[in-house]
A = this chain, B = another copy of it.
Amino acid sequence: MHALILGAAGMIGRRLTAALVESGRVGNDRLTALTLVDVVQPEVPAGFDGPVRAEAADLSRPGAAEAALAERPGIVFHLAAVVSGEAEANMDLGYRVNLDGTRLLFEAIRALSEAEGYRPRVVFTSSLAVFGQPLPPVIGDDFIPAPASSYGVQKAMGELLLADYSRRGFLDGIGLRLPTICVRPGKPNKAASGFFSGILREPLAGLPAVLPVPETVRHWFASPGAATNFLLHAAGLDLSGLGTRRTMTMPGISATVAEEIEALRRVAGDKAVALIRREPDPAVMRIIETWPEAFDTQRANRLGFTADASLDAIVAQHVAEHGVKL
């Protein structure tokens, strides 16, 4: 099967590409070819014998989706998006990429579906940002998406389009609301959620980290490996029982900042924990306190999606990949 990854140059896109190449499989089929697309040029992965087309393209431009679909990939991983902060700061850009880009993709698939019976599996990444206050302590599968950001609105609209184009038979879609990724690799950034990873990643590298919120703050996490596994698992599922509800929240670990700190202490000791500097930031706290704390992900569980084993396992994955440099 030919796999297309939109957003292939991002953190999850690169991990997904590597995982597909390493297994040589996608879903229940052999991986025969790859198309990798992103706004920046994606890297061609090493160690894959089949044809790889890697291209920079803006999927919100007319014709870009058609070009990406030229070889009629049997599966489309649609990870491409303008991130939350950028979609909030630049409303036109967010709607153009996250809404119009998704709609242009689905319309391009529909045209091929009507012309020649094309019907790919589409795996769409959505977000916890579809949920807004007031929220219950544990959010079930039937809870209303009522986003508090333009990014969340655009993702919720993408979920609705995915459901409608699936219901009409143009594609066979599944949407995954990914937990907040932890430990996110790379440099500290200005995302409000950055500290959730930063207070683990930076001390493990012997660097100071800032904690802007109280230790009682609770949130919903998945490791980069778990998030990649959700995408791989979604590729091979029988979706015929989903009805019109094509998107579901992925299982995660519900943990407080205090629990993160204790997990850090267990793997790297008090000297690592001492690198966390408490600098309460009311602006960050106002954002974070509107976020969900935990989910009851029965639908995803029934389909066999599995969370990380524990917060310790999340930290261990990061240590295995990046080491401890303390």
Q: Which residues of A contact B (CB under 8 A)?
A: 91, 132-134, 141-148, 150, 153, 156-157, 160-161, 163-164, 167-168, 243-245
Q: Is the CB of B153 within 8 A of A163?
A: yes
CA distance A133 to B156 in the complex (A): 18
Tell me whether chain A's interface is mostly helix, strand or loop, or mixed. loop
Which B residues lie within 8 Å of A160 (CB)?
147, 153, 156-157
Contact of A150 among B132, B142, B164, B245 (CB under 8 A): B164
Nearest to A151 among chain B residues (CB) is B164
CA distance A315 to B154 in the complex (A): 42
Q: How many monomers of this protein are in the complex? A: 2
Closest CB in chain B relative to A251 CB, distance in Å? 18
Q: Is the CB of A244 within 8 A of B143?
A: no
Contact of A144 among B132, B142, B153 (CB under 8 A): B142
Q: Is the CB of B244 within 8 A of A147?
A: yes
Q: Is the CB of B147 within 8 A of A145?
A: no
Which of the listed residues A145, A146, A161, A163 has the most CB atoms from chain B within 10 Å of its own CB? Answer: A146
Closest CB in chain B relative to A169 CB, distance in Å? 12
Closest CB in chain B relative to A182 CB, distance in Å? 26
CA distance A160 to B145 in the complex (A): 9
Q: Is the CB of B132 within 8 A of A243?
A: yes
CA distance A163 to B142 in the complex (A): 20
Closest CB in chain B relative to A142 CB, distance in Å? 5
CA distance A164 to B150 in the complex (A): 6
Which B residues lie within 8 Å of A134 (CB)?
243
Contact of A143 among B144, B147, B243, B245 (CB under 8 A): B144
